[in-house]
Amino acid sequence: MEKIRLGISTCLLGQNVRYDGGHKLDRFLTDTLGQYVEYVPVCPEVECGLPIPRESMHLEWDPESPRLVTLRTKQDLTDRMVNWAQKCVVELEKEELCGFIFKSDSPSSGMERVRVYNEKGMPVKKGVGMFARIFMQHFPLLPVEDEGRLRDPKLRDNFIERIFALKRWRKVLERKESRGNVVDFHTRHKLLILSHSPRHYQTMGKLVAKVKDLPLKELYQTYQALLMESLYLKTSPKKNANVLQHLMGYFKEQLSPDEKKELLEVIDHYRQEYIPLVVPVTLIQHYVRKYDQPYLKEQIYLNPHPLELQLRNHV
């Protein structure tokens, strides 16, 4: 698979663009995820024309519509940043991004819970960085995260699963539009979708069942929106256990009573969070290979991202 293009706050790559001339290198992003990703760096403060080093700044007043103001000289940089950001997001349309990783807590780049100071100088953690807000409004379906949240294994798994899924969907978009391509993509992603949202699994199943009744453009747009919406919802041990039992059903004829008992036990141990997801998935993969199950071989759920990322190894 060719590399996934992701936007990223430049300082996370180790470039010295911060107000103090430093950086915020994140080794997981550069060394581990970086093997599968081509980053498109964006530093809003430098790219809107501010120097390095520069006066530090923060957000002030209304958390819904704050001002970006420097701390010492009280320069209001809001209009400068907004004007630049609005042009930047239009330029970024050409980059075919599958997501963005923001620097947490930054008044320019933070995607949530950024401090906004009221008139008494008291902070509330309810703001969104100036650039991050405009980016997320412009690309509402793109997966976004910040490096702080990506330290949580579940959020990391969810984000990476979404960027890989979006990359596969983009591959479908590169081909000539056809109903068959959407059906084929959906068939391979069915169980992945089920593991996130049984409701979307039903809705998308109905959508795909009536592909012939929908204009192609509408089908593609609706499918893409539902896909990203479904994968945004978190999986859980209960939802995954449901999918694993569904997978087990494909081997009713082949497995001995003892093998069935063992697999059920492993799934139950996973559901109770004694063992990680990789354990039942590996056992099922073994049966898929052994019994050459053609439908399951194609299921992205069994292999949604590279094993080396170890995303299913946590309990």
Instruction: Indicate whether 101 belongs to the interface with ligand SF4 (CB under 6 A).
Output: no
Q: CA 41 to CA 54: how far, in whole Å?
A: 19
| 145, β-bridge pairs | 101
Instruction: Indicate whether 43 belongs to the interface with ligand SF4 (CB under 6 A).
Output: yes
Q: Report the residue from 6, 17, 231, 248 that binds ligand SF4 according to the rule CB under 6 A.
A: 17
Q: Report the residue from 58, 67, 103, 133 that binds ligand SF4 according to the rule CB under 6 A.
A: 103
Q: Report the residue from 4, 36, 45, 143 that binds ligand SF4 according to the rule CB under 6 A.
A: 45
Nearest approach, Cβ of 166 to ligand SF4 (angstroms)? 23
Contact indicator for 251, 290 with CB cutoff of 8 Å = no
- Look at residues 71, 97, 80 and name the one whose alpha carbon lies nearest to residue 7: 97
Q: CA 199 to CA 143: how far, in whole Å?
A: 20
Residue at 282: amino acid letter:
T
Q: CA 127 to CA 107: how far, in whole Å?
A: 8
Nearer to ligand SF4 by C-beta: 109 or 197?
109
Contact indicator for 11, 23 with CB cutoff of 8 Å = yes
Q: CA 291 to CA 293: how far, in whole Å?
A: 6
Nearest approach, Cβ of 54 to ligand SF4 (angstroms)? 9
Nearest approach, Cβ of 53 to ligand SF4 (angstroms)? 11
Burial class (CB in 10 A: 0-12, 13-18, 19+), 272: exposed
Contact indicator for 213, 169 with CB cutoff of 8 Å = no
Helices vs strands, H then E, count in the chain: 12, 8
Instruction: Say how far residue 13 (Cα) sits from the centre of its chain.
Output: 19
Nearer to ligand SF4 by C-beta: 108 or 197?
108
Q: Report the residue from 4, 6, 7, 11 that binds ligand SF4 according to the rule CB under 6 A.
A: 11
Residues in contact with ligand SF4, counted by CB under 6 A, come to a total of 13
> 91-128 in b/e burial notation, b at 16+ Cβ within 10 A?
ebeeeebbbbbbbbbbbbbbbbbbbbbeeeeeeeeebb
Nearer to ligand SF4 by C-beta: 106 or 158?
106
- Pick the piece of the chain touching ligand SF4 (CB under 6 A) from 11-19, 28-36, 133-141, 216-224: 11-19
Contact map string, positions 184 to 223, toward ligand SF4, x by CB under 6 A: ----------------------------------------
Site for ligand SF4 in 104-123 (CB under 6 A): 106, 108-109
Contact map string, positions 56 to 95, toward ligand SF4, x by CB under 6 A: ----------------------------------------
What is the three-class DSSP state of 55? coil
Contact indicator for 98, 5 with CB cutoff of 8 Å = yes
Instruction: Indicate whether 280 belongs to the interface with ligand SF4 (CB under 6 A).
Output: no
Q: Report the residue from 6, 18, 142, 190 that binds ligand SF4 according to the rule CB under 6 A.
A: 18
Q: Report the residue from 7, 44, 66, 127 that binds ligand SF4 according to the rule CB under 6 A.
A: 44
Question: Residue numbers of the site for ligand SF4 (CB under 6 A)?
Answer: 9-11, 17-18, 43-46, 103, 106, 108-109
